[in-house]
Chains A and B, each alone.
Chain A
Amino acid sequence: MRGEALSSWPFEKKPMPSKLFIEALAALSSGDAKAFLAFGAWLGSMAGGPRLVGNLQRESHLVGDEGFGVPRECASFLRRCATGHAKGKTDRQRCRSHAAACTAHQLRGLRIPRPHLPNGLLRYRASTRTAGELLERMLGPRARRFLKAGAMDTDEASRRLASAWDPSKLTKGDTLGRAGCVFATFDHPGGAPRGDALDMAQALALPAASSPVSVDEAMVEFSYPTDSVRNHRFPTVADAGDHPLFEPAKEIPPNPGAPETCTGWTRPIGKHSPQPEIVHRNNSLRVLDRAPRLVGRIQK
């Protein structure tokens, strides 16, 4: 029933389970496997549940520090989901235990060798709060207030932010993301609509692009050297948490000759082409190689 809120999203009807998932499931004890089935049934009843379950079944890169196709890490994740769910008595407790399982297995996707990545990464945050904090830091509280009140044009704000950009004013809390694990993308031959916030949100399959309520969010772009962040990995269902718009990477071993196999890819909303997607460890905004850019406002 909870899927009603997300009824317009593309759900998986019959996902093909990955070999990794099947082997991980087979590695569980019969008690854990039974608990996992109960967890799966519960997860399927969540908002976007069918796709969450589908994503879990298609997960193929949750291998930790082992090689492609080794199911140990994935089995550990499934076990943690199952036992946490079994202990929970209410939905809230079950949500929390699922979130805890995801957090415990963040940044445990297959490692991406550095040569498989370009020299620069891009990160997009659909967060007016983030944009406001950056403006406040560099231009003062007035800029933040006017941005939040919708009284400041994002192009103009972006220009002023660039001219006032001074990394020495950043604080310890000014980081690429709020959590330890950060999603990133990069320039690729398929291109991306980087000049339009709504188009970019659709290409990255962000919830603001398909929200059931009106949206007015500022989008910020961070650009930084790939070498300035550590632990580059394939994104997995554990990194994405309970958000169903995530798309697991296809179960194909990485091959530098086929760049599309070397990272995850988004499943865009609408007509846009998929965007490469990786995760890495969070870091300070001091690593940026240029001032953050306000892409615009996602308004719909």
Chain B
Amino acid sequence: MTQDAFKPTIRKDGTLDPECFAQAGQRWVTEWLRARLSGTDPYFPIDLRSDEDPEALVAGILRDAGLVHPGSCFIARAVLSLLERARKVAPRVPRYFGSLVALCELTPLPTTGPWFAREVRELAADSDRLEKRWGGYEQAKEIVFAAMVQCPGLPSAASREAWEALLMIPRYATLALLAVGTSFREEARHLKDWWHHCPAGDRERDLDQMIFTALKAHAGNNGGTSVQAILRCMARRYPPDLKEALDHALVANGADPAFEGAEPPYEPVFSPVAEGFQDSIQKPLLLNDLQAKQNILQKAERLVEPAPFTVYKGIPLQYGPLFTAHEPKTAQSLEALVPKGCPGGKA
């Protein structure tokens, strides 16, 4: 890190030009990042007075430059290199590691997904071993927070299975729920498992915070009703104490309860298509066969493992376009199949 190796380039408007990182080269960027995240940066001094987070400036650079900028690519590769370095020296935790993981929690990077996915897999397989490797639960938990950003548990993600397994480990249950719950609907699907495994002392607090954020997120979309409707879709899966706790959290957050006083059946009739059914369903849908479509929907109704999904004019969202594209009138006629008061049904 000699004086000539790097010159921060400031544009006329006072902003930093990320090109200077691209020009400095990979090796320099890696060493700069390591030093900065360890608390020393001669180029962009770290303010001790206000406890400046060393990672905040790096997140700002990435935000301004965009992840495809060559300077950002150097930084992303440097992050991966430092993560690898930390894994090699574990359980000794390098000084930079806390800020490095905090950076990964702030901004998704193109290079780090596999590293974090591996950590989540190993944690799900043997949490004690992984915690021991990183020096304890606190450090492992920080890695999981970052993993939520770097390898979220999207339904199609390779890490999904590991996240779902993590849901069964009490001290990680809420973190795993956050990772797989890419929407409130998704979270509601996993709520029963979470409820079963989450430490009893944390349940009420976490459920309250979940309902609070769900009501906020759905505020522009008939908030309470929407949240309640999603929860009602799951009623058959939820144990009574979970329903009671959900109602309590809803009321505590100023909304109406979802279950108390509601008369069963208050859940939609349609269930997602079980594995293996997809081909047999799509074929008649494409053939535009009304009777076949109705049969399919009736079969779906009888599936014992309901899960949340959106109903569009009486048809599960994933098949809605097929219906409407081939026979819009059929879609209208199927509306009657949806029970009164359910999403997509008549008011």
Contacts and interface: CB of A to CB of B under 8 A. Distances in A.
Nearest to B58: A213
Given A128-B56, A214-B64, A243 B49 contact: yes
Most chain A beta-carbon contacts within 10 A, residue among B39, B53, B175? B53
Interface in B89-120: 102, 105-106
A144 to B, nearest CB: 7
B260 to A, nearest CB: 24
A183 B1 contact: no
Interface string B186-217: 00000000000000001001100110110011
B51 interface: yes
Interface in A10-62: 45-48
Interface string A195-234: 0000001001011100111111100000000000000000
A240 B49 contact: yes
A179 interface: yes
Interface stretch (B10-18, B226-234, B329-337): B10-18
A212 B3 contact: no
A178 B102 CA distance: 15
B50 A92 contact: no
Contacts of B212: 160
Contact of B46 (A48, A124, A156, A243): A243
Interface in A43-102: 45-48, 90-92, 95-96, 99
B16 A212 contact: yes
A212 B47 contact: no
B8 A213 contact: no
A198 B168 CA distance: 43
Nearest to B65: A213
B79 interface: no
Contacts of B56: 127-128, 208, 215, 217
Contacts of B50: 124-127, 183, 201, 204, 206-208
Contacts of B39: 99
Contact of A129 (B46, B63, B102, B205): B102
Interface residues of A, number: 63
A212 B209 contact: no
Given A141-B178, A142-B174, A127 B53 contact: yes
Contact of B3 (A45, A99, A239): A45
Contacts of B16: 5, 212-213
B35 interface: yes
Determine the interface band of chain B, counting residues with CB < 8 A from chain A.
Answer: 35 or more
Contacts of B210: 142
A211 B61 CA distance: 11
Given A1-B7, A148-B106, A212-B14, A243 B145 contact: no
A260 B155 CA distance: 61
B319 interface: no
B40 interface: yes
B45 A244 contact: yes
A235 B102 CA distance: 29
A4 interface: yes
Contacts of B2: 90-91
B160 to A, nearest CB: 18
B64 A7 contact: no
Contact of B64 (A125, A148, A213, A244): A213
B42 interface: yes
Contact of A140 (B35, B43, B55, B205): B205
Most chain B beta-carbon contacts within 10 A, residue among A2, A45, A124? A2
Most chain A beta-carbon contacts within 10 A, residue among B2, B51, B206? B51
B52 A126 contact: yes
Contacts of A254: none
A242 to B, nearest CB: 5
Given A129-B53, A142-B174, A2 B8 contact: yes
Contacts of A241: 45-46, 48
Contacts of B286: none
Nearest to B40: A95
B60 A240 contact: no
Nearest to A129: B53
B250 to A, nearest CB: 16
B145 A141 contact: yes
Nearest to A153: B216
B42 A47 contact: yes
Contacts of A212: 8, 10, 14-16, 44
Contact of B1 (A92, A179, A217): A92
B48 A148 contact: no
A269 interface: no
26 contacts: A2-B42, A2-B43, A4-B7, A7-B14, A91-B3, A92-B35, A95-B40, A127-B53, A127-B56, A128-B53, A129-B53, A141-B178, A142-B174, A142-B209, A142-B213, A148-B106, A177-B51, A178-B51, A179-B51, A211-B57, A211-B60, A212-B16, A213-B16, A215-B56, A243-B47, A243-B49
What 3 A-B pairs are tightest by C-beta distance, nearest first?
A213-B60, A5-B8, A212-B16
Interface of A: 1-2, 4-5, 7-8, 45-48, 90-92, 95-96, 99, 124-130, 139-146, 148, 151-152, 156, 160, 164, 177-179, 181, 183, 201, 204, 206-208, 211-217, 235, 239-246
